Chains A and B, each alone.
Chain A
Amino acid sequence: MRTPVRNANKLSDGGAGPQPRPGVGLIVNPVAGLGGAVGLKGTDGAAAQQALALGARPKSQVRAARALELLSALKNRIDLVCAPGAMGADLATSLGFSCRTLGTAGAATTSRDTRDAAAAMAEAGVSMIMFAGGDGTARDVFDGAPGVGLLGVPTGVKMHSGVFGASPEAAGRVAALVLGSEPARVEWREAEIMDIDEEALRLGHVAARLYGYARSPLERTAMQNCKTPSRRDDDPALDALARRIVREMDPGILHVLGCGTTMRKIKRQLGGEGTLLGVDVALNGRLIATDVDEARLLRLTSGVPFKVITSVTGGQGFVFGRGNQQISAAVLQRAGRDNVMIVTSQSKLVMLDPPCLRVDTGDRQVDAMLAGYMRVHTAPGHTMMMRIAA
């Protein structure tokens, strides 16, 4: 539930005299999102090294830059406080921002560095911290600076929390609104800091766990909501749909199956358990590859016809770019729009606010290819015509 708090984050007390430049922190988790395309379910702890070893290419800086570029016009009007080196200062400087640096960072950055930098920024009195990362980064920033407004640039593997922009550009636009000439026009809300519930995952359910509430800008079309769980009473329709989909799979066609509990219903109809948080591939009625990464997907789909079946993140409406980065822009480009099938419950669709699906593949051309109206399958013989916003 969104609870707007108008002007709760005023950047000045409105008193007489020259307005101080609004102070904003910038923290980039440089390894965020590394695990996505290589099939890891996050990039926490040792996973970053593992991801690099698997060939992952860092994308966090690039995506953070897409957001920061939208603040160019405000370069001289904001007091930018950055975490050192790769955690923010390098990026800001490369884009022509002048900034102060707080905190420390070693060659290999850690979550401790993120928490320390956030705490130092809170101590310095910034009114908002803009961070680039996923749910793990959001938790670290929140832990370090619990009272400070947060705005996340989505660069991680999972973004279940409600503090992220719907895309890097959307986060940049919101930041520009907050830091621009009319900050009082921005409403704020208590947004959820979420992360995957490891306990539930061990029991076979994908569920996000609530870690706390952080103040975050309320901009309906630009900010994503937190992830919401599936409803059990949707199960009969989705079970029946899973049976229908498997029955109607064309022989000789590869089917790339996305993540989550809805997709697991299809995977189970194929006779296996599949990978709950991973991408699997089916051919001729059985799973032929499980927990595949982007590179393997590209090899498997090279020169052969294939379809991509995926679901929707509840509450957020993401189809691609959240938790399923293995199905990368390159894979989707190869598949083409007509070979993408979206499967989810009708209740999940009608609860979306705003009422549209989203894609954030990291490739604007692929996002544009996927944008527009598409049929989403909700039960056998039932579809909803949903708008996909890039």
Chain B
Amino acid sequence: MNDRDEYLLDLYFKRDERAVAETQRDYGSFCLDLALRILGRDNRPDAEECVNDAYLKLWRTIPPRRPKPLKAYLAAVLRNIAIDRYRQNRRRAENRELEEAILELSPAMWVPDSAEGELKYLLSDFLRKLPEEERRLFVGRYWHGYAVGDLAQHYGLTPNAVTKRLGRTREKLRDYLNERGYGYETTNR
């Protein structure tokens, strides 16, 4: 963890209000971008609110928590808040880009309800086993919600190549879960 995060965490621990403002300065744009990707670019008010809710959660959970790195914790908190907000909004607002990603991913990581709690361990293990670029593409697409075009631009690939690689990674994930008795083909659905 960098010194800056230590500084921010110290502010939270001192209950110093600058903690939130400083977090906004460091990670505000990153957070807003993440929230907008989940909620849709035309839903900035909701995205801003989710970011603020995430800051509030940080304020309330630090201390006693001292998450390292702070950015990852903040991002995970925000992602859940934004997905929850998307869930509430979806009847009246859609985000095709997100929905496309969710529907791509869902069949590959289907597990029974009872096993959903274990997914985070399984997914972490699965991701560690992937080649680095493959993991980055997968996490970029399904964790951060980047568009295929953006990933292609960033990694110097064609969009078609990104799509194919993501498809192969999803197949690997399905096989991984099946091998461990969780996946679609090994449970009574």
Q: Do A and B come from one complex?
A: no
List residues of chain A with CB under 8 Å of any chain B CB. none
